[in-house]
């Protein structure tokens, strides 16, 4: 089995690099990725950088390694007001919040000629849900839509706009839908797992830098533990 892992920031991939021996480092178009193995599974680990184009590039590179699944981990800002910092969202599907091709008879968020949204793989999603339910008892775990765009959402007006136009969206981030679109084109199953770094009311009592340092390591530990338990 070959598993691809994509995260945006160095702090989200450092634990893999520190933990897994004999990784082979490669760079394409200033995007770094690593090849190796862990507990009998082949791994492709990519640090995409932030944003949709960076995420699409990274996903294309790892897709050419022919993985069985692509796992995207990272942080997200809450849209659902019930989510708290540290809660975990498993995307049911991903859709863009900054695409408007409605003039060409598309729905809001739909790229012309592409699906309205990009569903994650139900079997992999279910497996991760079971894992987090058993091992992340302190966190609320929710499954639902996520939205992606090239803007960091930092205002209540924008949160309310997303709530209005993408009802049911749990959180917003900057890479997941692009990863989903490329995975769709390559016909590779994918999952998106996000830890909430900012509530819908923006009442965080921890800085983003502090959160990423902590959650990046925790997320990588959890992902490797999940991989180790795969049959």
Name the catalytic one among 80, 134, 198, 225. 198
CB 114 within 8 A of CB 64: no
Q: How far is CA 178 from the centre of its chain?
A: 10
Name the catalytic one among 12, 80, 92, 175. 12
Read off the tokens for 20: 């897994």
H or E segment and range at residue 89 = strand 88-96
H or E segment and range at residue 46 = strand 41-47
Tell me whether residue 98 is exposed, middle or buried, using C-beta atoms within 10 angstroms of its C-beta: 0 to 12, 13 to 18, 19 or more.
Answer: middle
**Which backbone phi and psi does 217 adopt, to 5 degrees?**
-70, -45
Terminal Cα-to-Cα distance of the chain (whole angstroms):
10
229 backbone φψ class: left, alpha, beta (φ>0; ψ -120 to 50) = alpha
- Whole-angstrom CA distances from 24 to 45, 63, 128 are 10, 17, 27
**Does the annotation count 198 as an active-site position?**
yes
Active centre residues (catalytic): 12, 198
């Amino acid at each position: 089995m070959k598993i691809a892992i994509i995260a945006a920031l160095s702090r989200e991939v450092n634990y893999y690099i520190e933990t897994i021996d004999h990784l082979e480092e490669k760079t394409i178009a200033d995007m770094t990725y690593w090849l190796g193995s862990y507990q009998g599974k082949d791994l492709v680990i990519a640090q995409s950088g932030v944003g949709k184009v960076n995420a699409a590039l990274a996903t294309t590179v790892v897709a050419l390694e022919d993985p069985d699944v692509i796992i995207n981990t990272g942080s997200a800002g809450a849209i659902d007001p019930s989510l708290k910092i540290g809660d975990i969202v498993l995307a049911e599907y991903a859709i863009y919040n900054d695409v408007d091709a409605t003039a060409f008879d598309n729905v809001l968020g739909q790229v012309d000629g592409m699906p309205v949204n990009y569903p994650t793989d139900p079997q992999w999603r279910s497996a991760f849900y079971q894992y987090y339910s058993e091992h992340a008892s302190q966190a609320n775990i929710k499954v639902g839509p996520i939205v992606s765009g090239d803007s960091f959402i930092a205002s209540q007006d924008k949160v309310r706009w997303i709530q209005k136009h993408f009802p049911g969206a749990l959180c917003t981030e900057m890479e997941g839908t692009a990863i989903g679109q490329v995975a769709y084109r390559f016909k590779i199953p994918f999952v998106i797992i996000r830890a909430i770094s900012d509530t819908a009311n923006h009442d965080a009592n921890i800085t983003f830098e502090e959160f990423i340092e902590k959650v990046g390591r925790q997320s990588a530990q959890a992902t490797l533990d999940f991989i180790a338990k795969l049959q």
